[in-house]
Chains A and B, each alone.
Chain A
Amino acid sequence: MSGRLSPGIIVILALLAGFVFAAAGADLLAHNDPLRQSLLMRLRPPGTSTATTSYLLGTDDLGRDLLARILYGARASLMVAILSVSVSLLVGAMLGLLAGWFRGWTAILVMRFVDTMLSIPAILLAVLTVAVLGPGFLTLVLVLGLTRWPRYTRVAYAQTLQVVTLPYIRAAEMAGCGPVRILLRHILPNIAGPLMVVATSEFGLMILFEAGLSFLGLGVQPPYPSWGSIMAAGRQYVQRAWWLTVFPGAALFVLVLCVNLFGDWLRDRVDPQSRSR
């Protein structure tokens, strides 16, 4: 397999790097405090500047700098996505590995649990959990992380079943490896590819979920910025201040699209059979 990257994937990787950079460097990139209100500067259009500062993307209904809020919003989006994907990947992969290794009753129990989880509407579950635990960043991560693991379990289970039949697993037994070492050193690395493919597609979904829940007021709480809550607030001003919905919406769209395209590319690399010729 050649290591060369096509121009398309380079653009995607560059855009993704841009988002990560924006989120990580929000403190440096934004020259206004995303929380500082200024009632005199309410709903100013993009490009407004004053003697002391400028608002490249305009301001919101409380006179806060939209650019700063989008940059900090990116941080919220990515943090939620990274943490919730990590939690669900960890839980899901572990359950799948164990089900595939022990098979029998363990597998039946785990996989029926997976089926049950997958038949509950995710948004409903999220709304209920938030209602019980109260909204907030941590709740969001836990809700998303602990409801989204079943897809990883399915993939990990199916892959483990395949890999355990391979002679190199017999060879590891012959070498004297215990089950833990076989699972972590011999099976996990060889099912990591397909799991990463699931993780990327889930990553895009998590960003959308975070935006959706925050839009509904169940996610990141005001005054802290999130793309969803910015859009929710901008909804009532959509006639007068289009920028409040368009800019965070565009950011969300481009980020999720990049993540999904990256996921497709990754899948082709991991599983060359699925590549279209």
Chain B
Amino acid sequence: MSATLDITDLKVHFAGRGGTPIRAVDGVSLSIAPGETLGLVGESGCGKSTVSNASVGLIPPTSGSVRVLGTELAGADAKTLRAIRARAQMVFQDPVTSLNPRMTAGAAIGESLQVRNLARGIALRTRVAELLEEVGLRPEHAARYPHQFSGGQRQRIVIARALALRPALLVCDEPVSALDVSVRAQILNLLVDLQTRHSMSALFVSHDLAVVRHVCDRVAVMYLGRLAELAPVDTLYTQPRHPYTKALLAAVPEPDPAVQRVKPRVPLTGEIPSPANPPSGCRFHTRCPIAIDICRREVPAWRPVGHSQVACHLA
């Protein structure tokens, strides 16, 4: 069976100040099988959000290929993009700004069905009511405006809107990071539940390794526009191969002092370099605790090590 999402050597460069391009994404390849959830983690500025936007055609690739269910998005015309977005939908980070404040929940959820002439009148209203119930809201919520909902409820509306077209691929860009802790669990449970029930593929972008572990089958770690490591979820967390993955895992504060205070620290010195002027060789070498000479000179190959794929000379 072919992949739901297939990204090959994706590069997205933005115009930067003074003509130097910002290499937000600089050669990323990954694919997501039907029904699979792939986590994409990394720190701010690593390019993970750009990958997620490129996966649904919201940002055009500078080069490389993005295929959703076999259809190429790179260089696709508006008609193709519109068609593919019926199969690939997106859940955004901030539930406040991802809903039009002047549109009722029902209008927002039903909009895609309406503008694509897939449902109208009673059929549309019934479908919207179904979707609302599916995400744990009530049909009468359709008539309310976003400001009448709490943050968690708004994110449920955003999810219902994304589900309206029954997509094969759901791209979630930091879907719970703007939510309070007690609400976060509700939304994560809902996402996992919906994804399994509809056997959707999902690209789950997050900076939170604990959240990613909870919802994903495989996890890709990104650093400064490139993939550092990609592995099945258990392998990544128990046997991280890339020193950056190890550092990230060590830096996550576990909500348990008994674990957290005895955890070995992998202190990363320094700051994340600018994607306008990435370091030579391995991009992580400026912060890597084990970097040697070759890391500064040569870009590490993307190669399999055990169950993982790693871009590190020393893995």
Q: Which residues of A contact B (CB under 8 A)?
A: 166-168, 170-178, 181, 185-186, 189-190
Subset of 19 A-B contacts with CB under 8 Å: A166-B97, A167-B93, A168-B98, A168-B100, A171-B90, A171-B98, A171-B99, A172-B100, A174-B58, A174-B90, A174-B162, A176-B82, A176-B85, A176-B112, A176-B115, A177-B111, A178-B115, A185-B100, A186-B100
B162 (CB) vs chain A CBs: closest residue: A174
Given A177-B111, A177-B115, the answer on whether A170 and B92 have CB atoms closer than 8 Å is yes
The answer to whether B101 has its CB under 8 Å from any CB of chain A is: yes
The answer to whether B315 has its CB under 8 Å from any CB of chain A is: no
B88 (CB) vs chain A CBs: closest residue: A174
Contacts of A181 in B (CB 8 A): 115
**B97 pairs with A167, CB closer than 8 A:** yes
Binary per-residue interface labels of chain B (43-55) against chain A in the complex, 1 for a CB within 8 Å, 0 otherwise: 0000000000100
Q: Which 6 A-B pairs have the closest CB atoms?
A: A175-B112, A189-B102, A167-B98, A167-B92, A168-B100, A175-B111
Q: How far is the CB of A216 from chain B (nearest CB, A)?
A: 43
**Cα separation A170 to B81 with both chains bound (whole Å):** 13
**Cα separation A189 to B94 with both chains bound (whole Å):** 20
How many A-B contacts if CB must be within 8 Å?
A: 61
**B115 pairs with A168, CB closer than 8 A:** no
**A174 pairs with B89, CB closer than 8 A:** yes
The answer to whether B76 has its CB under 8 Å from any CB of chain A is: no
The answer to whether B41 has its CB under 8 Å from any CB of chain A is: no
**Cα separation A168 to B58 with both chains bound (whole Å):** 13
The answer to whether B120 has its CB under 8 Å from any CB of chain A is: no
Q: How far is the CB of A159 from chain B (nearest CB, A)?
A: 13
B78 (CB) vs chain A CBs: closest residue: A178
**Cα separation A203 to B100 with both chains bound (whole Å):** 29
A165 (CB) vs chain B CBs: closest residue: B97
Q: Which residues of B contact A (CB under 8 A)?
A: 53, 56, 58, 82, 85-86, 89-90, 92-94, 97-103, 108, 111-112, 115-116, 158, 161-162, 164
**Cα separation A166 to B99 with both chains bound (whole Å):** 9
**B100 pairs with A190, CB closer than 8 A:** yes
Q: How far is the CB of B267 from chain A (nearest CB, A)?
A: 36
Q: A171-B98, A174-B56, A176-B112 are in contact. List 7 more A-B contacts (CB 8 A).
A: A167-B92, A167-B93, A173-B58, A175-B115, A175-B161, A176-B86, A185-B100
Contacts of B100 in A (CB 8 A): 168, 171-172, 185-186, 189-190
Contacts of A172 in B (CB 8 A): 100, 111
**B161 pairs with A170, CB closer than 8 A:** no
Contacts of A174 in B (CB 8 A): 56, 58, 85, 89-90, 112, 162
**B98 pairs with A176, CB closer than 8 A:** no
**B103 pairs with A185, CB closer than 8 A:** yes
Contacts of A168 in B (CB 8 A): 97-100
Q: How far is the CB of A165 from chain B (nearest CB, A)?
A: 9
Contacts of A173 in B (CB 8 A): 58, 85
Contacts of B112 in A (CB 8 A): 174-176
Contacts of A177 in B (CB 8 A): 111, 115
**Cα separation A170 to B103 with both chains bound (whole Å):** 15
Q: How far is the CB of B114 from chain A (nearest CB, A)?
A: 9
Q: How far is the CB of A119 from chain B (nearest CB, A)?
A: 32
Identify A170's interface contact among B58, B115, B116, CB under 8 A: B58
Listed residue (A166, A174, A178) with the most chain B CB atoms within 10 angstroms of its CB: A174
Contacts of B92 in A (CB 8 A): 167, 170-171
Q: How far is the CB of B282 from chain A (nearest CB, A)?
A: 34
A187 (CB) vs chain B CBs: closest residue: B100
**A170 pairs with B111, CB closer than 8 A:** no
**A176 pairs with B58, CB closer than 8 A:** no
Q: How far is the CB of A27 from chain B (nearest CB, A)?
A: 39
**Cα separation A186 to B102 with both chains bound (whole Å):** 8
**Cα separation A178 to B164 with both chains bound (whole Å):** 18
**Cα separation A170 to B90 with both chains bound (whole Å):** 9
Identify A190's interface contact among B93, B102, B161, CB under 8 A: B102
**Cα separation A167 to B99 with both chains bound (whole Å):** 8
Contacts of A175 in B (CB 8 A): 85, 111-112, 115, 161, 164
**Cα separation A105 to B154 with both chains bound (whole Å):** 37
Identify B101's interface contact among A176, A178, A185, A190, CB under 8 A: A190
**Cα separation A214 to B197 with both chains bound (whole Å):** 72
B161 (CB) vs chain A CBs: closest residue: A171
Q: How far is the CB of A93 from chain B (nearest CB, A)?
A: 15
Contacts of A170 in B (CB 8 A): 53, 58, 90, 92, 98
B100 (CB) vs chain A CBs: closest residue: A168
**Cα separation A173 to B112 with both chains bound (whole Å):** 9
Contacts of B89 in A (CB 8 A): 174
**Cα separation A162 to B56 with both chains bound (whole Å):** 22
**Cα separation A181 to B90 with both chains bound (whole Å):** 20
**Cα separation A113 to B164 with both chains bound (whole Å):** 44
Q: How far is the CB of A69 from chain B (nearest CB, A)?
A: 43
**Cα separation A174 to B161 with both chains bound (whole Å):** 10
Contacts of A185 in B (CB 8 A): 100, 103
Q: How far is the CB of B266 from chain A (nearest CB, A)?
A: 34
